[in-house]
Amino acid sequence: MLNRTRLFSTAAVLMLLAGVQAQRSVTLSSQSLCAVTGSTVKIPCTYSSSYYRRPKEWYRVQSSEGEPRDLSKDPQYSGRVSVRTVTSDCELTVRNVRASDSGVYNFRFKTWSSGWISAPSGVHLTVTGVLDEKSCWSVTYSTQNICSLIGSSVDIHSYYTFPNRYKVTKVFWFIKDQTGVEAVDVREDEEYQGRVQYTQISQNNCRLRITNLRETHAQTYRFRFYTDGGKYTGQPGVSLSVTDLKVTVSNSGSWKKKLSCITTCTLSNDPTYIWYKNGQRVTDRYINELDVKSEESGSYSCAVRGHEELRSPAVCVFSEKSCWSVTYSTQNICSLIGSSVDIHSYYTFPNRYKVTKVFWFIKDQTGVEPVDVREDEEYQGRVQYTQISQNNCRLRITNLRERDAQTYRFRFYTDDPTGEYTGDPGVSLSVTDLKVRVSDWGSWKKKLSCITTCTLSSNPTYIWYKNGQRVTDRYINELDVKSEEPGSYSCAVRGHEELRSPAVCVLDEKSCWSVTYSTQNICSLIGSSVDIHSYYTFPNHYKVTEVFWFIKDQTGVEPVDVREDEEYQGRVQYTQISQNNCSLRITNLRERDTQTYRFRFYTDVGKYTGDPGVSLSVTDLKVTVSDWREQYMNLICITTCTLSNNPTYIWYKNGQRVSECKSASCSVAAVGGAVSYSCAVEGHDSLLSPPVYSPKNTRAVVLSSGDTEEGDSVTLSCSSDANPPVLAYSWFKQRAAADTLLTTGQNYSISNISSQHSGLYYCTAHNRLGQHNSTPTLLDVLYLPKNTRAVVLSSGDTVEGGSVTLSCSSDANPPVLTYSWFKQRAAADTLLTTGQNYSISNISSQHSGLYYCTAHNRLGQHNSTPTHLDVLYSPRNTSIVPSVSGDLFTLVCRSDSNPNSSYTWYKKTEGDVKIIENGTNLTLSSRADGFYYCKASNGFGSSNSSEWEHTSDTDNSVVKYAASGVTVALVLLVLLFIAVFLWIRRRASLFSNRSEDNSKNNSAPVYGNVSAMTSDPTQTASSEDQDNLQYSSVYFRNSHTQEAPLYSTVQLTEEVEYATVSLAKSRAVPEDEIYNNLKLNQ
């Protein structure tokens, strides 16, 4: 007995020391760091010990043996290191790091009863130059290849480094890497929904856990992290292979078989294999083979330790009769009323058959097909089958009732007509409640026992409560209560705390009246449901007659049951999980449900109210946005009270879940496009906060009561829907080259507006989350016509006999309503037609002249500058005019043509015609007798004059008469000058009253035909006036134009272009002799 006591004491001391040692530790949150020379490095560190710690220090791990030196005392680090010493914090800061600082660093401390305690491994610091900073970027994996079982879980570890001057903004794992396409976080992949978790063990570590592996999860997994200085991806990644287990059978003689448990890849961590025969465990082996003798026939399967539930399909070895089986994980189960229970079965059958049906049942009557428990009314909505592996079927029953205490059997059917099999004797399920039994333990003590009608499975931990308050957790079901500890006691088991026993009053009855609440304060979301739990006790010999919850407690007035309050109609429910428990459930919470709720119960001797009650606060969710650092925003999901149960937050971006954010705050990168964020809490995914979003529905409008005309003032206004509100507005005008920033502000005003302001304007609204442009709006400035222009639509020259169209264009807003066409004339301009175009067919020389058009809109009108219509035609009316000068006689050839004609002179001789000269004039001597004519030519044709006969015996009087005719002509010319001068003055007066846009260089031809008769045709003429001067033409040309005269080849520089003066004297000669008497004397 003494030895046993000593052994126990030694063991106790060892356990105590192990516990003490376990309480002393150093945790370094990084394994390695990379820094650039000259920067500052921080190495996070915490340490724990419940004992006095002295001394403590950071040191550098040396490759050679020797006592490490405290960095704070090392001259190499003098003035460059500091250690935070607040409580258990031991963060090391090294400033102005050097390449020589590269190495491994660790922290250690001592207590009064131990030696140095340090972290198992230190932090490796690498210091590099700026040019070598690339070497600081890395991702390493714990392994390159992993092989795991279908249905199991796998952990894939990554460790990443980067220059310490950057901060990590985002980390994720992905499987598909396409060039030019952003990789997708596996947490957002539908294949992995609810089965992926990231865990950060240390600062630079990120572990990917995938649960319930499927065959499709065989992929290469890569890790990527983002910093404010760039991103980095770990290549080539980790190749995950997923396999199942399979048993192969090979002969090893006539009386022996060799079984192998095989996989499609080599499982990691050298697993231990477990073999089963007809569902019963046979052996654990480190190798995957099993020898089976002929007398050991049956159905065999295998598994690996730690994944016993993931067995291989069973294989029948030797005799088929031995391969039909059903085994249960246990024969007896004891569970609490109100809890859930899982009953496992494993079944085998010959390999060549296929299972067609499986089910559980409770009643087995001979000759009657048993009923599937799923179809039993007693189990409706409380039964579920789960198949973990091929030969496994699990029955789960929830919310157990006392009458669920039955024997449950499993049956399966195969495609063999007689192939059904039932697992007997089945699993006996017992269902019990908890009960406190009180026994005396002397006058000053009571012993309480938490008893059940069957032995609960899994060696539960018992929990004791006094007046509803938790007292202690004990592995045993007993509690001693002293006389000074009277009260109402109850018990429960861990994991089922809500399923308490009825309370028992111990020692003093007065101490047994109580109401306790699970919490004094609850904060819940608007729209959610809340459960408020009360636990009440009273002396055992009384009976409860009524229970209810209320909110308003007025002295002298009976409180009203919340179920009868109109505000709560249809939203309140009472639930009694156990005898002394009453829970209030309020659904679809509203803001006005914020109240203090109290519970009251009545017994056959009195009533009791639980004060002060439970204060319920009801809140909504709201997202606030604040600047975090450049290009990043910090979102915070806030409430007006602290939500209960420390919830996990869910963040949504544009309606899609953001998997990396799970706390109340989330840092996001600023984006240029439309974006919205909202938050929710786990379990209440549908109760999203109102979203915060970048501006949307941005709209630019023109604030005007009517049309905007030139000279007016106008204001453009911008509006946008944004949360948080718009911080700034910017105004732009669209231009072909680049849009121009006009101003900032919600409104943009323009005064004295002109047509140049017309165009498309848009505004941009900015808030902390982004910006948004409005659809451009048209600023339409109205103005009367301007830049009116008349043009001749012709592909070439305008030739007599052809057709021509004149077209008018004008800049006007609103558009031109009508166009009018005019031709300038000396007296008054003539309206020709209306319409944008004016067409002339079979055109003649009379159509030549200056034309202009007038454009009209409802604001006014405007004239174009006149355009000249120049009609070209071949020579016509070609004639010869003679003149005398001394002994010389000059013939002048004239013609009407456009463009001007060129002239050729011909002399007709006997049987021949000679070209004499080119030019307008031909000068002959008095002796040059003969017949002469001239030819006028231009690009459109030619015309010959009549022949002119010249003889040497022509009378000198002819010459004299011609000279006198010339004299008369000169006199008339002076008169004509006076007439033209008066006409020009009158025309200038007319022009001054015309539109400013009419032409100032009027080149219209002017035709003045002056005919003067010197005497009556019957009057007798003197001898000197017997000859009639028929042709004397004077032509004037406008010095400001280049048009050719229409009727002359003799041109003078004057204002009037064309003037023909014809003088006729009466004479007695016939008309056919007009030219015959004009002769030159030799």
Per-residue pLDDT reduced to its tens digit, 659-679: 778 888 888 877 767 889 999
Distance from C-alpha of 184 to C-alpha of 174, rounded to nearest angstrom:
6
User: What is the structure's pLDDT at 983?
Assistant: 62
Same domain (yes/no): 452, 385: no
Residues 486 and 497 in one domain: yes
Q: How many CB atoms lie within 10 A of CB 236?
A: 10
From the list 810, 809, 748, the residue with the least C-alpha distance to 779 is: 748
Nearest Cα residue to 304 out of 261, 247, 248, 243: 261
Q: Is residue 13 part of a domain?
A: no
Would you say the pTM of this structure is higher than 0.75? Answer: no
- And the tokens for 272? 């231990």
Return the pLDDT at 585.
96
pLDDT score at 388: 73
- Out of 779, 800, 822, a domain closes at 779
What pLDDT was estimated at residue 63?
Answer: 56
CB of 93 closer than 8 Å to CB of 82 = yes
Would residue 247 count as lying in a domain? no
Q: What is the pLDDT of residue 42?
A: 83
Residue 3 lies in a domain: no
Phi, psi of 98 (to 5 degrees): -120, 165
Residue 32: CATH number of its domain: 2.60.40.10
- CA 802 to centroid of chain Cα atoms: 65
Give the integer Cα–Cα distance in Å for 71 and 43: 13
Q: What is the pLDDT of residue 696?
A: 92
- Same domain, yes or no, for 205 and 232? yes
> Same domain for 638 and 583?
no
271 and 370 inside one domain: no
Q: Cβ distance 537 to 514 under 8 Å?
A: yes
Q: Is 788 exposed, middle or buried (0-12, 13-18, 19+ CB in 10 A)?
A: buried
Q: Is residue 556 part of a domain?
A: yes
In a domain, 38, yes or no: yes
Kindly list the averaged pLDDT for each block of 10 residues, start to end, along the chain of length 1082: 39 39 64 79 76 74 72 87 78 87 86 77 79 77 92 91 82 83 84 86 83 93 88 92 93 84 90 90 83 90 90 88 89 93 92 90 82 92 87 93 95 87 93 92 84 89 90 83 90 90 88 90 94 91 92 83 93 87 94 96 91 95 79 86 88 86 81 85 91 94 88 94 94 89 94 92 92 93 94 88 94 94 90 94 92 95 94 92 86 93 90 88 85 92 90 51 49 72 57 40 38 37 39 38 38 38 37 36 35
Give the position of tokens 């079901």: 477
> In this structure, are 686 and 698 located in the same domain?
no
Cβ-proximal residues to 155 (8 Å cutoff; 6+ apart), any chain: 207, 208, 209
Backbone angles phi, psi at 80, to 5 degrees: -115, -10
Final residue before a domain boundary, out of 609, 631, 658:
609
Whether 981 and 1077 map to the same domain: the answer is: yes
State residue 564's pLDDT score.
92
Provide the pLDDT for residue 953. Answer: 56
Tokens standing for residue 172: 């994720």
840 with 880, same domain: the answer is no
Domain identity same for 423 and 348: yes
CB atoms within 10 A of CB 675: 19
Q: What is the pLDDT of residue 1010?
A: 36
Phi/psi at 1073 (nearest 5 deg)? -105, 20
SS3 string, 367-405, reads: CCCCCCHHHCHHHCCCEEEECCCCCEEEEEECCCCHHHC
Count structural domains, the chain: 11
Residue 14 lies in a domain: no
Residues 889 and 926 in one domain: yes
Q: What pLDDT was estimated at residue 390?
A: 78
The CA distance from 395 to 711, in Å, is: 87
Q: Decide: 1033 and 972 in contact? Cβ < 8 Å.
A: no
Whether 210 and 333 map to the same domain: the answer is no
The answer to whether position 12 is within a domain reads no
* Cα-based distances in Å from 494 to 332, 436, 548: 21, 16, 28
Determine the pLDDT at residue 797.
86
Cis peptide before 724 (omega within 30 of 0): yes
Per-residue model confidence (pLDDT) at position 738: 85
| Cβ-proximal residues to 892 (8 Å cutoff; 6+ apart), any chain | 880, 881, 882, 883, 920, 921, 1049, 1050
818 plus 857 within the same structural domain: yes
Predicted pLDDT at 164: 76
- Looking at residue 131, its pLDDT comes to 58
In contact, 323 and 315? CB cutoff 8 Å:
no
Residue range(s) defining the domain that contains residue 538: 516-609
CA distance 921 to 918: 8
Given 609, 629, 654, which residue is the final one in a domain?
609
Domain assignment present for 316: yes
